[in-house]
A and B are shown apart, each in its own frame.
Chain A
Amino acid sequence: MKHVIDIKDLSVEEIDSLIKVAKDIINHKEKYSHKCDGKKLATLFFEPSTRTRLSFESAMMELGGNVIGFSEASSSSVSKGETVADTIRVVGCYSDIIAMRHPKEGAPYVASMKSEVPIINAGDGGHNHPTQTLTDLLTIECEKGRLDNLTIGLCGDLKFGRTVHSLITAMSRYKNIKFVLISPDELKLPEYIKKDILEKNNIEYVETKSMDEYMKDLDILYMTRVQRERFFNEEDYVRLKDYYILNKAKLENAKKDLCILHPLPRVNEISTDVDDDPRACYFKQVRYGKYIRMALILKLLEVK
């Protein structure tokens, strides 16, 4: 039995295989509509995240399976003081697979130590969110036709942005990837990621505060939201939240086939005038998220 807690739990070959299955699902939806008949997915969301939860639930339903679960801790036994380990052991008796989101980092790892069914980490605080990364990889593969030879701009909160950290980790395993790290000083990529991943793998990267400086070189522009919940100090959040706003004018020098991604929800960091630009891929990205989650559920349930 396999759990997916961190994107590193999946080898490049496994990721390639998931992408292949997801692409097949996109092209032959009917073939997969009964693959999970009689199976149950439990979505345990100890903190609310409507988007991710609906993506998992919709993925399971499109595979013919059923869904149980809760959408916030207050409606579960956690509010009575139950531990993660106990919740997981109980829910494992009712379900075949569990997707879990928790505000505390490492909670899904604790769950995986005790669970008798596969656990998928659906986000743990500012730590990991592997299915978002798989979503990003499928989007890049489908929109660019490759996962190598890319210059990727990451813009906004690179300090607390877990999607950015995971994407860097995942993309570092492909050939000829360059990163442009665009952030204010306060939200720069943590040193350990630069050292342990980028420098260790000889990945080329530049850091800049300017969104315009390298725009013309980018194949991918990954925008992120500055998240209020990651700050202990409201003043810092207010000062940094609108540091970057991508609008039509900013895209003037960008490549014609640039792919603009965002894990969503966005606030102000992408102006709505960009939405109709063919380079805006962030809503397509949501759809890809459902397909890659379908592929992951099939893999973890060992459904052929």
Chain B
Amino acid sequence: MNIDSITNGYVIDHIKAGNAMKIYELLNLNKLDCQVAIITNAKSQKTGTKDIIKIDKDIDIDFETLGFLDHNITVNIVKDSKIIEKRKLDLPETIINVAKCNNPRCITSIEKYLDQIFVLTDKENEVYRCKYCEMSLKNKE
């Protein structure tokens, strides 16, 4: 299968197989007017299979959200058809309005204007807790 290489933009690589569509939606890539390629179940030496997203435009990427979703992702930044940077992602300290608190007792369950804020409290086990009620975020994926 051939997919054109890109001139200026991003290759989001090493996405855990099956997660490409989720990232496509969370980064609002459906609103772009450029070419976006989603490749699922590509061969990976490290993990067997992986997903890849190619974006043929220099846009603002929310690296924090990407890092939260999967910090094993690599983002290749392409300029004039050359990779100028391979950016490794890290778990962000705080995420805002990316995930929703599921605790029915949390204040965010009734006051909808509040930002949904989660703070990284245990990096080793990738635990995020709601800033308001401290409930841990479950089912990140």
Contacts and interface: CB of A to CB of B under 8 A. Distances in A.
Interface of A: 83-85, 102-107, 109-110, 124-127, 192, 196
B111 A103 contact: no
Interface string B95-131: 0000000010111111101100000011000010011
B134 interface: yes
B83 to A, nearest CB: 41
Contact of A104 (B110, B121, B131, B135): B110
Given A103-B105, A110-B132, 12 more contacts: A104-B109, A105-B105, A105-B133, A106-B106, A106-B108, A106-B132, A106-B133, A109-B132, A124-B107, A127-B134, A192-B127, A192-B136
A83 B131 CA distance: 18
A104 B122 contact: no
B122 to A, nearest CB: 7
Contact of A106 (B107, B113, B127, B136): B107
A196 B124 CA distance: 12
A128 to B, nearest CB: 9
What is the interface residue range for chain B against chain A?
Answer: 20 to 34
Interface of B: 103, 105-111, 113-114, 121-122, 127, 130-136
A196 B110 CA distance: 29
A126 B103 CA distance: 11
A6 to B, nearest CB: 9
A106 B136 CA distance: 14
Contacts of A84: 107, 111
A105 B122 contact: no
B123 to A, nearest CB: 13
Of listed A85, A102, A105, A106, residue having the most chain B CB within 10 A: A106
Nearest to B114: A110
18 contacts: A83-B111, A85-B111, A104-B106, A104-B109, A105-B132, A105-B134, A106-B108, A106-B130, A106-B132, A109-B107, A109-B132, A110-B107, A110-B132, A125-B105, A126-B105, A127-B105, A127-B133, A127-B134
B105 A196 contact: no
Given A105-B107, A110-B107, A83 B132 contact: no
Of listed B106, B113, B136, residue having the most chain A CB within 10 A: B106
A103 B109 CA distance: 12
B24 to A, nearest CB: 32
A85 B108 CA distance: 12
Contacts of A127: 105, 133-134
Contacts of B132: 105-107, 109-110
